[in-house]
Amino acid sequence: MSMSAGYVRVLAFGPIAEAIGSRTTKVEWRENLSIEEIVIELEMGHWLGQGLAVALNGERCPVDVHCQRGDEVALLPPVSGG
């Protein structure tokens, strides 16, 4: 088993990417890891009540969905008009 199989790839956009310091990062996968837990682990939990949209492998989904090894999670902050 390769080491990369033990991670979830996270794609961050907008102010979340700025806060994390990167557009992509990896979070170590563990049994029953939810997208919500990933958001909290990345210290972005304050976005959860502010209209954060998430996608798992390109499909929008709720934050309580559980990830598998090698999945890709996108964190999409709400778009502000202007």
User: Which range marks the domain in which residue 63 is found?
Assistant: 3-76
CATH code of the domain covering residue 47: 3.10.20.30
Confirm whether 82 is domain-assigned: no
Tens of pLDDT along 63-80?
A: 999 999 999 999 999 876
- Residue 79 pLDDT: 79
Find out whether 24 and 38 touch, Cβ atoms under 8 Å.
no
Confirm whether 81 is domain-assigned: no
pLDDT over 60 (residue 82): no
Tens of pLDDT along 1-46?
A: 444 459 999 999 999 999 999 999 999 999 999 999 999 999 999 9
The total domain count for the chain is: 1
Which has the higher per-residue pLDDT, 49 or 79? 49
pTM: 0.88
Confirm whether 24 is domain-assigned: yes
Beta pairing, strands 53-56 & 59-61: antiparallel
Rounded to an integer, what distance in angstroms lies between the CA atom of residue 58 and that of residue 28? 20
